[in-house]
Homo-oligomer: A and B are copies of this chain.
């Protein structure tokens, strides 16, 4: 085996009360990547379609992640990486994570799996560091592991996989405006009130309980964010109206995906998800903003090998 083709999924991170620690993996939104061994002892980004992104290895998240992984292994094998970007850069659904996680996943496979999939997370995080200045794990972990990933600790890194209630569906609206992750982090307050922090961790504890018990109503009640959403939502056109529409159409919860501008609605079952998606589409198409709209199940597998 000297070539592999994979599907590398989009992810929703910063799941409301799980800011910086909780993300989940989507099923039918993702990049396709072909990674091949070369004989040059270097990592090259040979092709990017779908998005205008740098081909220089050291400026590309997939390149940086791949190099970090190979350096750690002490392996001088070279690889060519082709990326067909279906996830728009800057969308807030883990575009950089998909590329970075996909690269290390594929190379690990081609090298005969010297590391477990969860051991690949730190290298994929190097791609995130390049993209946003912050090596966060709540996109790359669910991209690699599938389902819901909880980052218990960054130092040392510890990521848990949590159970996925079967009927969960995610509607993602991506307004086609640009918010840079870096900028989106810059507007966060560096201190928060103890009272709000307590509310946040009460909700996150309950959210984890809801995942273990498939308690959809509890899941919905817990999907709140007292800290980041009030600040960041002002960057997202019609956020409050969208949240209201989601609630009126019985979505379980609604919030910002990643650092935006995408927003997500968690829904129970296909029928409800379709209804929420239609209502959001109906509302947003009257606005002067182009957008993409996705409906996805939770992808329990993570990155998939296509050939």
Q: Which residues of A contact B (CB under 8 A)?
A: 17-22, 150-154, 158, 160, 162, 188-195, 197-209, 212, 218, 221-222, 227
Contact = CB atoms under 8 A, between A and B. Distances in A.
Tell which of A162, A190, A206 has the most Cβ of chain B within 10 Å: A206
Given A21-B205, A153-B203, A197-B200, A218 B160 contact: yes
Number of this chain's copies in the assembly equals: 2
B212 A152 contact: no
Given A188-B194, A191-B191, A206 B19 contact: no
Contact of A194 (B160, B198, B209, B227): B227
A101 B223 CA distance: 30
B199 A153 contact: yes
A195 B193 CA distance: 12
10 contacts: A20-B202, A153-B199, A153-B203, A160-B205, A188-B194, A190-B193, A191-B193, A197-B200, A197-B201, A205-B205
A205 B152 contact: yes
A202 B19 CA distance: 9
A199 B156 CA distance: 12
Contacts of A207: 205
A162 B209 contact: yes
B190 A19 contact: no
Contacts of A152: 202-203, 205-206, 218, 221-222
Tell which of A19, A204, A205, A209 has the most Cβ of chain B within 10 Å: A205
Contact of A205 (B194, B198, B204): B204
A194 B192 contact: yes
Nearest to A199: B153
Contacts of A222: 152
A259 to B, nearest CB: 14
